[in-house]
Every structure is written in structure tokens, then in C-alpha cells.
Structure 1
Amino acid sequence: MDPSYSVYEDAVSRNKESAARGVVELELPAGVRVRGLLQSGYQSVLTREALEFVADLERRFRPRVKYVLACRREEQARYDAGELPGFDPATKAIREGDWVCSAPPPAIADRRVEITGPVERKMIINALNCGAKMFMADFEDSLAPTWDNLMRGQINLRDAVNRTISFEDKARNKLYKLNPKTATLLVRPRGWHLQEAHIEIDGEPATGALVDFGLYFFHNHVNFRSKHGGFGPFFYLPKMQHSREAAVWNSVFDQAEDVTGVPRGSIRGTVLIETLPAVFQMHEILYELREHSAGLNCGRWDYIFSFIKTVRAHPDRLLPDRVQVGMKQHFLKSYTELLIQTCHRRGVHAMGGMAAQIPIRNDPAANEAASALVRADKLREVKAGHDGTWAAHPGLISLVVEVFDSNMPHANQLDVKREDVQVMEDDLLQMPKGKRTLEGLRLNTRVGIQYLAAWMTGTGSVPLYNLMEDAATAEISRVQNWQWIKYGAVLDGGLVPGVRVTKELFARVLDEEMVCIEREVGPAKFAVGRYREAAKLFAKQCTSEILDDFLTLDAYRNIVQFAPTARM
């Protein structure tokens, strides 16, 4: 993102009308500029001390973040030139060594069921109350990072840690508040690649991950640790591709602990293995975080997205319809089994992934079919040796708990070493089997447009066609369309096999799917939504000559809103 903000020239004018809601004055540290509109309550998060803490992290680690992102680009250039990811011979000693990570704290020893969702106030309360062991509050894939979402999310998490959070639904005349017993809170900041345009430090936009982590840790570490045996806060760390990126996080944790006087190793982070390069770096990632590690998680949807993105210049690697790329495919089965073996060898949790199905109201047969898919997925995970898993909806918690309780009598399965697993590079790179269809192209297009339209209006997690879609699943739709169009994939299944995917075919499909979307959502909602804007952006992304790394990087400029006056 250009620090000059030339792409955001219209952001101030878009937000002038919001200024009438009032401006809150801040006492800002030297070199810090807050460009977002300051609404009531934000000053409790954006204190001088908290911003000084974030600014210190930014100044210390900005060069390293830029370096690891440059390394990503260099590695992708090699893949584009014909290479494929693999295990690094230079770190063989780490992979074969007998070291282990620090033992899991008692507060997170049993993680059999975790629920995830954005940092929205009502969602936080429901998730903490739903009966899951853990709740991952998300600043990343399920949250559209509008300034208001981010600031209110920080307020909501502070209130949740303090147990003062409540929400009044006036339309339903219902008050939401925490139960006496709640899930343990984990927080997922944004990935290293995302910047925070609304906060400048020394003339550059801040790193989104450091803003999310820094504000939350600064305001909550004391109260959180007092409730969890001196450990925490606990985090999920997304989108990493190499152990050098984990090393940056470890240094951030060290610095945060040292500055605040927190004992070393109190912070714990679970790394999502959701990129193809990272699966070859799992031992190395754990090694870098060994004092602070809480294990690894199978981020399956981003992993599929990353698989396509990593091999984007390989025309012989065109994937089938995304609905056919399930966890029984050899490359995904190999990835999950290697993750379990790696984690248990190092003494930390191996967490399963998200089944995207959600409860289906008013259709008992369809709901039972969806529940059966979730049950089968979770049974596969617990039998394979996972220590816990994710659920997308509170209505699925009891089902998932039942599966894990029936098959995992103890707090975890760290004793299940999976010494039978022998995974080679070719296993992790094996192409999934299946067909490419026009129906798959249509579904990708319909889902991608609707998700983007919701994202640009501030909603990052959207139920579509009985599945929960977030940025990860929408990314699969985008990169698969791009791959098929780029290489003129021949559709080899469905109702019209033999058709070649071209830009012209995609344009026709997009027009037809826009008609379908308008019919499904209704003309009134379609007229006031951002569907046409989303379709234009999605089409641009799918037909560009060079694949953009992330859909949300391009879309972000559409949600930035600067205050009419932003003081430093």
C-alpha cells in the first residue's frame, strides 16, 4: 500500500458526513497520527500509553515485517519460474532434533471444541456462552477491517476479559450477558501483509497485526493472566509461509512481555498452517516459537487457496471444482496427518479445521444432512489424533462435543504420536482428483460477488447456500476462476463438458449470476447493496494478467474512511 494514500483520495470526502456524530480528542505520542473518525469510547482504547506501546512495536519490527514480505515475493517468483515448495535441507537438524516446546498451560490443556467468529459484541457473548472450550475472536478472515469494526472489537474484547460485556437487543427485548462459566478467549490478529491505514506511525501506515495484538495485549494482559493461572493472553497467528515469520512473532511476544514485566513464555500462540509453503516448515515454526507455542491448526480453506496461488504459474496443476476438494483428497489427508505427527512429537496441540456447514432452519432433512457431514468430519479428525477442532456456529457445538467426548476421554491426545505417518514432498503436492464444471464456475462467481458485497459493507462472515463463507473460502472462488481463465481450462464434467473457460465465457457467466443474485436477495436489497461494485472488483481480480496475492488488499481501499481532520 502506498504510504502517500493516493488510492484513498476520496476517503476523507466519503466520511465528512460522519463528522457530525462528534469528534473525540486524543493525546497522541510523537510520530503517531490517527486518521480514523474518533467516536465516543474509542479514547478508552487509543490511550497515549497504548499507542506508545503499539508505536514501539512498529518501530522495532517494521523492518523485519517488510523483510519477510519481501522474502515471500522472492519465493513466489521461484515458484512462478517452475520450482515447487519442499523441505529445506538447511534446517534438517531442527526437523530431526529431539527438542520439545514448553508444556501447554492448564488453561488451554483441553481444547476439544473451539468456536470462531468476528469481534462483534453479540457474537462474542454467544460464543463465550455456547459450551465450547475456547473461542477464537477474529480480527482476520471473518472480520471486514473497517475502522469502526476494529475499534469496537477492541472495546468488546476488553469488556469480555473484564466480564462486563452485555448487549441489549431492543427489537427482541432481550439482554445478552455472560454465563458464570464461559469459553477461554483466544484472539487472531491480522496477517503480516495487511496494513492499518487509519493509524500512521512516523508517516507510514501501521502494521495491522501489531495494532490488533498491541492494543489487545496492552489493555488486557493483567486481567487476563489473573483469571488464567498467570498465563496468557492466547493468540492464533495466521497466514505465515516460513519460520522466519514465526521468529518475528516470537520476538514481538518477548518484547511485549519484557516491557510489561510479564514472565517469559506467558503469551501462547497457535499457528494456522494455511499456506502450502508453511506445511514444509512446521517443525521450524514450532522451534522458533517453542517458548510461546500452543500448537498448530489445520487452516484447510486458506490452505486450498494457497495451494492454487502457489502453483499459479503451473498450467498442469488446474484444480477441480472447489466442492470436490475435500479432506479425503490425498494432499489434504497427508497435510493433516503430518501436522498431528509434528505437533505431538513437539508436545503441543494439533488442532483440526473448520467444517463450513451451518444449521439449516425450516428444512429438517437438509439440516440432518449437514449435521451428518459435520459429524463425519469431526470423527475423522478425532480418530486421526487431533486434540480439538473448530465449529462455525453455536448450534453445532453440542454435536462436535459429543463426537470428541466419545472418542477422546482425556484432555488431549498428545500421547498419540502417529509414528505410522510417512509423508513425503510428493504427498503434499499431489493434485486433487475431480472434475471441472460450468456449475463450479458459476458457484465460484456467485459466492465471490456476494461475499465481496457483504465485506465492503462491513460484514466479513456470511452464510451462503448453507455454508459459512469468510475471506478464506471466497479466496478459493477467486483464484480458481483466475486459474481456469488464465490457462483456458477445459471443463471435463457437469452438464456441458468440453467447453473451454475464456474471459468471454466468464463475462457471460458473471452477467447471468448477477441476475440470479438479484432474484435471490430481492430487487430492493440488490439496489442498495454493493453488488455491482463487488462484481466489477471480482471480475477484475479473476481476469487480471497477474494474480493478486489477496482479494482483500484490493478491496481494502473501498472501506477506508478518514476523518475530515486527522491530527498528529
Structure 2
Amino acid sequence: MTEQMMEQPQTLTGLKLAGHHIQGQEEVFTEGAMSLLESLCARFAGDVDALLAKRKERQVRIDKGELPDFLPETRAIRDGKWTIRGIPTDLQDRRVEITGPVDRKMIINALNADVKVFMADFEDSLAPSWEKVIQGQINLRDAVRGTIEYKAPDTGKEYRLNDNPAVLIARVRGLHLKEKHVEFNGQSIPGALFDFCFYFYHNYRQLLSKGSGPYFYIPKLESHLEARWWAKVFAFTEERFCLEPGTIKCTCLIETLPAVFEMDEILYELRSNIVALNCGRWDYIFSYIKTLKHHSDRVLPDRQQVTMDKPFLSAYSRLLIKTCHKRGALAMGGMAAFIPAKDAEANRLVLERVCKDKELEARNGHDGTWVAHPGLAQTAMAVFNQFIGDDHCNQLHITRDVDAPILASELLAPCEGERTEHGMRLNIRIALQYIEAWISGNGCVPIYGLMEDAATAEISRASIWQWIHHQKHLSNGKLVTKALLKEMLVEELANVKEEVGSERFTHGRFTQAAVLLEEITTADELVDFLTLPGYELLTKQEH
């Protein structure tokens, strides 16, 4: 090579760590793991932007008046007689699952809870700071090895795993989220590939040796083409590590309105790897608002009135069960976001509501459900034990074949209910407190007796945007306008200050959260995800 050639600028290729050094990162960024990530990015990262562009193209058509519907070009798949590859033994009984972020204490408590599965979450309940993302991978590696321990700094209490912990499933980030701290060819990589790569690489041998496997939850799919992308990622990884096809198993959340019309197709594309679909109800409600945002006849009422017995949500749950069981896949129910109350009477009411919600799911034929707190596990388990019994692991035998076909019009049915000033103010306070926590690095927050994650905050702010956009009136006659939102925001910011106390308010980021909430709620176009501008604020804080 000549001296002149050596002086020419080098083309930017390969992986680059752009984040600051985090203690323990060498344990994550090993040579083998980085080699896998580079290969995954080289083959698959470039396709993500095209998939996201297809989302936008479809949304433009819906904004112009088209309504989502089942795809005519995939009718043969929906009508075909096929099933998924199969379900591993340790995933056949999932009657209660607990979810939560990947911090050390949470992982131990969740794996020790009276549940079948713990979904360790890199997505909606985690604010993905660079430190938390890396520490989460270390924590899960230690959990898989059974060596995870935690000592509370304030009390000195020690936490360790019990002998028979729950099955572990990792939820990766959605395709829309980037990991800014790692670049490939000068571009931030998909957070989904980062999360998948490192959890798989560091844990697959240990998991398989224990009779389990590398199991994943895939969030926020909007089409079977996105499922096809994941199928290719899984197949490539299995082949690279000389694993049997179908070793990697996934559960897909059906939590977007477009995806509910492509459930058969999503199962088909992932048939080698998929074991279940899940009703991600809170994100689904948000997606209903977001997808139909320009349709004035489909504006939702107060969030608290949008319950699973509403026609459009009942149709969604029943169709998911029917579709899954026809294909041999499990149909998981949604989240009970309640937190046990300290007051005995208040707690009795909480458990009553959880019981009623879970009975509806179990009666419909769901194979299991989600809780956000270990204190609800026993109540949810009792309900599903009653319906599933000791002779079965699940309710796959409930086919719902006698049901009439569920039509697009049922899935899109308008939702009756009031829009109240109390509901609007509650939306503002919830969104305000959640955004403040998220941009401060905490994505899982107890607010007013509920464990809130990004999905519930999304509903809160998107509802108000929709009311403003369609010039809706509250039940007391007030017209919902940008000016009304700003007026209420000032008042509710003061109320939040009173609730949390001056010291917490002063040391928090509530003013920044209020600015962001106002920006995204009064914008002319609905912002896709509050976590996108939120991530900008989160990463700025790191520098």
C-alpha cells in the first residue's frame, strides 16, 4: 500500500461505542457479543427504516379516510390449515406473568413471586439510559446463572433467588427506538437488535442447559412484514450458533390497531419461533387513538371508562384467543396495573377489581395474564387456577369455533362514554408525573394506586390531543382547546407540587416535563411516541 493511499480518509465502517464508560461494560461487550451485533446490524439494521416508512405510508392513507381492515392479499394464510412449530415445556403454563424493569432488586423479587413467568423489560417500563441498559444485561446474566444478589443500601436487607424461580423472558425495545450509544456505519443502531443480541449471546447456553431457552417478548409490531424481519433475525442467529431451527422462542404483543388485522399473518411469519400473542391493552388503546386520530367519530372518552368490556376491546380479546388457539399458540391476557393498598378496605376493593378483570379474561379463554405487582399474583393465580384447573396447563382446548366471525367494524367500533374535566385533569397529572420520572431515568412509576409505564402516559396525552384536534366539549360544556390545556397544566403543576412536596418538586424535573407535555399535546401533528423526545432529554442529561 502506497503512502498516498494510506493518507486518504478511511470509510467509516463497523461498530462504534459512542456512550461513556459504564462500570462492568467489559462483561457485556465481549469480542463474541460484539461480533454478533456487528453481523446483525450489517444484515438487518438497514431494513428497519424501510419498515418504519411503511408504517407512515399506511398512516397517511388512514388519515385521508381509509379504515384498517384484513388484508385481501393474505387471505390464503388466514384460511389455511397450519399451526406453529410448538411450545417448550416451560412455556406451556403461563397462567400468571409479572412484568417489570431490569433493575437488580426488581428482577429478584419478580423471579421469586408466585408467578409462572417474569417478563424482564427493556421497553415501556425502562427509561433506557446507557447505564440502565448495560446494567440490565449484567443483571439478567447473573439471574440466569442464579448468582444474582442485592443488598439494600438503606436497610441492609439482602435479596437472593429462591430455589424455583419463574421462567425468564426478555422484552426488547420496539423497532422505532434507537440505541444512541452504539453506532454502525455512523448511524445509531436499533435498540431492539442491541437488547436481543446481548441477552441471547450471554445467556443462551446456560438457559438451554437448564431445560429452558432464549425467550423474548416482541413489542409494538404493526405488520406481518415486521414479524418476517424478526423471523429472519432469529433464523440467522440460530444458524450462526448451530442451534436447531425454532430454538429461540418469542411472544408478540398485539398492542397496535394495525396488528390486530394481521394476527394470523404474524403467527405464520414467525411460526418456527412464536409461542403466543399477548393483549397489550394499554398500548392498544393508545394505538386506537393514534391510528384513528383524524376520524372524529372515533374519539375516546376518559381513560378510566375505556375498559375491556367495551365492544372494540372485547372483540380484540376474543379474536386474539380464537386466532391463537386455532394455530396452537397461547393467548395471553393484559395487565392488571393496580398496586396493593395499605388500607385494608381500599386493598379489598383493589383485589375485587383485579379479580373481576381476570375472570373476564379467563372466561373468554385466555391462557394467562399479567400483573405489575407481586401482591396481585395470588389473586390472579386463584382466578386462572379455577378456570384452567390441575388437568391442563392452559386453555388451548377452548377454540371459540362457535363464535361468529369478528368483523373489522367490531374492532373499530366507537367507544361510548363521557369526557370530563376531572378526567382531563387526571390525564395531565399522570402524564406530567410519568414524563418527569422517565426523563429522570425511571420508567416504572406508582401514581394514584396504579403502576404506570409509558403506555398509560401515552393514552393520557394522546386523548387530550385528540379532544383538542376535534374540538370536543367536556361534560360540563367547556370546549377543549390548546388554551384550556395550558391553563389546566399550570394549575395541575401546582397541584403536583403540593402532592410531592416542595423539596421533591425543586430537585425533580417537573418544569421540563410540563414543557414537553405541552409541546406534544398542542402540536399540530400527534407525536408518535413521547419516548422519542423523552429519549433526547434523557441522553442530554447523561453528558
TM-score interval, smaller chain = over 0.9
Question: Which of the residues 237, 240, 245 maps onto 2:226?
Answer: 245
The alignment status of 1:186 with 2:166, answered yes or no, reads no
| Aligned-partner SS, 1:559 | helix
**1:420 Cα offset (Å):** 2.6
The alignment status of 1:481 with 2:460, answered yes or no, reads no
Counterpart residue number, 1:368: 348
| Aligned-partner SS, 2:446 | strand
Tell me, in whole angstroms, the C-alpha distance in 2 between the residues paired with 1:109 and 1:311.
36
Matches within 5 A, 1:306-345: 306-345=287-326
Matches within 5 A, 1:373-412: 373-409=353-389, 410-412=392-394
Matches within 5 A, 1:513-528: 513-528=492-507
Pairs aligned (count): 529
1:35–1:563 Cα contact (<8 Å) kept: no
Stretch deviating more after TM superposition (46-55 or 545-554): 46-55
Matches within 5 A, 1:336-355: 336-355=317-336
| Aligned-partner SS, 2:442 | coil
Counterpart residue number, 1:5: none
Tell me, in whole angstroms, the C-alpha distance in 2 between the residues paired with 1:173 and 1:549.
43
Question: Which of the residues 38, 45, 49 maps onto 1:66?
Answer: 49
TM-score by length of 1: 0.92
Counterpart residue number, 2:512: 533
1:461–1:469 Cα contact (<8 Å) kept: yes
Percent of aligned positions that are identical: 49
Counterpart residue number, 1:271: 252
| Aligned-partner SS, 2:429 | helix
**1:563 Cα offset (Å):** 8.2
**1:147 Cα offset (Å):** 0.4
Counterpart residue number, 1:281: 262
1:344–1:350 Cα contact (<8 Å) kept: yes
| Aligned-partner SS, 1:419 | coil
| Aligned-partner SS, 1:430 | coil
Q: Which runs of 4+ in 1 moved over 2 A?
A: 561-564
2:299–2:415 Cα contact (<8 Å) kept: no
Tell me, in whole angstroms, the C-alpha distance in 2 between the residues paired with 1:254 and 1:562.
38
Counterpart residue number, 1:36: 19
Deviation string 1:86-130 (CA, Å, 9 cap, x unpaired) is 000110110011100012110111000000000010000000001
The alignment status of 1:75 with 2:96, answered yes or no, reads no
TM-score by length of 2: 0.96
The alignment status of 1:498 with 2:480, answered yes or no, reads no
1:109–1:412 Cα contact (<8 Å) kept: yes
**1:185 Cα offset (Å):** 0.1
**1:486 Cα offset (Å):** 1.4
Counterpart residue number, 1:415: 397
1:453–1:530 Cα contact (<8 Å) kept: yes
**1:366 Cα offset (Å):** 1.2
CA-based RMSD: 1.2
Deviation string 1:473-525 (CA, Å, 9 cap, x unpaired) is 0000111011111121111x3xxx21110111111100110010000000000
Where do 5+ consecutive residues of structure 2 fail to align? Answer: 1-11
Counterpart residue number, 1:557: 536
2:85–2:272 Cα contact (<8 Å) kept: yes
Tell me, in whole angstroms, the C-alpha distance in 2 between the residues paired with 1:543 and 1:301.
22
2:298–2:415 Cα contact (<8 Å) kept: no
Deviation string 1:35-62 (CA, Å, 9 cap, x unpaired) is 1121221110011221121111111012
**1:65 Cα offset (Å):** 1.2
> What amino acid is the match of 2:55?
R
| Aligned-partner SS, 2:539 | coil
The alignment status of 1:444 with 2:427, answered yes or no, reads yes
1:194–1:209 Cα contact (<8 Å) kept: yes
Question: Which of the residues 504, 527, 531 maps onto 1:548?
Answer: 527
**1:300 Cα offset (Å):** 0.2
Tell me, in whole angstroms, the C-alpha distance in 1 between the residues paired with 2:527 and 2:541.
25
**1:325 Cα offset (Å):** 0.3
Stretch deviating more after TM superposition (192-201 or 418-427): 418-427
**1:561 Cα offset (Å):** 5.2
1:131–1:182 Cα contact (<8 Å) kept: no
Question: Which of the residues 283, 308, 313 maps onto 1:302?
Answer: 283
| Aligned-partner SS, 1:560 | helix
Tell me, in whole angstroms, the C-alpha distance in 1 between the residues paired with 2:526 and 2:35.
37
Tell me, in whole angstroms, the C-alpha distance in 1 between the residues paired with 2:78 and 2:449.
41
Counterpart residue number, 2:159: 176
Larger relative contact order, structure 1 or 2 (CA cutoff 8 Å, min sep 6):
1
| Aligned-partner SS, 2:297 | coil
Check 1:378–1:107 CA distance in 2 against 1; reply closer, same or farther (3 A cut): same
Tell me, in whole angstroms, the C-alpha distance in 1 between the residues paired with 2:345 and 2:396.
37
The alignment status of 1:140 with 2:123, answered yes or no, reads yes
Tell me, in whole angstroms, the C-alpha distance in 2 between the residues paired with 1:48 and 1:542.
44
**1:30 Cα offset (Å):** 6.2
Counterpart residue number, 1:104: 87
**1:232 Cα offset (Å):** 2.0
Counterpart residue number, 2:7: none
The alignment status of 1:455 with 2:438, answered yes or no, reads yes
